[in-house]
Structure 1
Amino acid sequence: MTESETATTPLSAPEPGDKPSRPTGRWWRGLSGSVAAGLVVLALGVACTGALSLFTEINGPGAFSLFGHLIAAGLALLAQRYADRHRGAPAAAAALSVLVITVAAVWLFWWS
């Protein structure tokens, strides 16, 4: 193969000794994605409990808690989507914000 043919080849096969490149931040996005998914499940559970309380005689979670969970889940999903589609410090900050939103929601609506 001549030098000009090598220059026009778009992709070359990896050499036997080359290590495959590993995407950085994969575990971090996986963790924050799992936390965001858990917050969505929690928000859906609170919403179902609120709907059930409308039709029965039991006390429900209340409007503040209900809408707070839904808003927190929406914000966490938006931050996770940003983290999944970007790289570097902005993606790490978005993933960290998922954790902060989740901790704030759980602390505000469950422990305080």
Structure 2
Amino acid sequence: MCGTENRSQLPLAAASGCSCCSTEAAPSPTAAAGATTVEFAVDGLTCGHCVQTVEKAVSAVDGVESASVDLVPGGRSRLRVQGTVDAAVMREAVTAAGYTFAGI
């Protein structure tokens, strides 16, 4: 169960979702000069807490400068990763966080 004191305001990609998410837009991360951005599909995310969990897990990987998720509750969400990225390592980070890595 997540505590309300540590929640971040995260956007939803659709109007529906769980009650712990905000529909207000969060600031986008800025890319460092020359950074590579790679997108992956992730299944199983339903709320802002899920997004935060995946972003935190992926951001901890060596070579990742930033990670952000476009949430699609009940659908396939998009994970954007900036930096030096290996798909196998991203799969491991996402699955270790408890979600399904659906590929590039």
Q: TM-score, normalised by structure 2?
A: 0.27
Please state which structure has a larger fraction of its residues in helix: 1
Larger Rg computed on CA atoms: 1
Q: TM-score, normalised by structure 1?
A: 0.26
